[in-house]
Amino acid sequence: MGLSTVWRMAAAIFGRRAGTEEPPHEVLARQSGIEIRHYRARLAAETTVPGTETEARYEGFRRLAGYIFGANQGNATIAMTAPVAQSAESIAMTMPVAQAPARDGAWVIRFFMPASHNLASLPRPNDPLITLVEVPPETYAVLRFAGRPTPARLARAAASLSAALQSGPWRAQGVPTAWFYDPPWTLPPFRRNEVAVPVARATAAAG
């Protein structure tokens, strides 16, 4: 293990995410402690997992981490943080990891792919439970919080996000998604978690 790897791991414990790419976005507004962000189209590897919220998160993370660490048709093995060596089949993990409810008590877990890739350049997953998808451009209201992302904390954050939207011009257009930016060993006070919900301006939503 090189010194740079040790440094990145130590930095992650205290919430420093050096070199990790995030999906490109623009902050359109800030209100009542939340941000309104517009995200461009982006690619993701996703899997649907049944079970409890926490169990599904860990299982989905395990599957998708396997994909980016080499369980793919290119046998690409890469570091979990960017930058990484570039080749035709290399993948860098970007943040956040997303979790959203699906039907029948299941959860959709997503790893977003680097902006430098397209669907043709990403290696196919070996696991048939993983799908590569293009996520369309979307505007989100986002509330950030620290600590362990337990189901109770996520529910409280989602409720706070909903309440904050009541006083502004933006209206929710879907269900909240949870976004996670840190590895499990990061100390809780330094963790970055977010809840996000698609939004539109009230006038646009009203037609």
**Please, are residues 106 and 96 in contact by the beta-carbon 8 Å criterion?**
no
Cα separation, 84 vs 91, in Å, equals: 8
Q: DSSP letters along 127-144, please? A: STTEEEEEEPPEEEEEEE
* Residue range 26-69, pLDDT digits in tens: 999 999 999 999 999 988 888 999 999 889 888 988 898 899 88
Q: Which two tokens stand for residue 11?
A: 């930095």
Residue whose tokens read 């904050």: 164
pTM higher than 0.85, yes or no?
no
Q: What mean pLDDT do residues 142-160 have?
A: 94
User: To 10 degrees, the CA torsion angle through 73, 79, 85, 88?
Assistant: 20
SS3 37: strand
pLDDT at 11: 44
pLDDT in tens, 183-202: 777 889 988 899 999 999 98
Residue among 116, 110, 173, 111 nearest 141 (CA): 173
> DSSP label at 72?
B
